[in-house]
Amino acid sequence: MTISPAPPEGLLPEFSALLKSKDIPGYIQRLAREGPDWYMDLQLPVLSMHLQPVASLPGTSLPPRIQ
């Protein structure tokens, strides 16, 4: 599976920019930093939306913080 050219609507601009530039490792790294905060703040829809683009990419391993 590849990431579509246009990131999903609703992503924060920083995340959209990373996807547009196809910087998947950078996207995952940023998600690993910000995702746990969203989880602790119960912003689960935001977390889910930002996990979606990378959750099912073959050969992509997510850091333990966001698995």
- Domain limits for position 35: 13-54
Judge whether 67 lies within some domain: no
Judge whether 66 lies within some domain: no
Q: What is the pTM of this model?
A: 0.79
- Say how far apart CA 24 and CA 41 lie, in whole Å: 25
* b/e 42-64 (16+ beta carbons within 10 angstroms → b): eeeebbebbbebbeeeeeeeeee
Judge whether 40 lies within some domain: yes
Number of domains composing the chain: 1
Amino acid at 33: R
Q: How confident is the model at residue 11 (pLDDT cuts 50, 70, 90)?
A: very high
Q: How confident is the model at residue 18 (pLDDT cuts 50, 70, 90)?
A: very high
Q: Please say whether the beta carbons of 66 and 36 come within 8 A.
A: yes
- Which of the two residues, 22 and 58, has the higher pLDDT score? 22
Judge whether 1 lies within some domain: no
Judge whether 4 lies within some domain: no
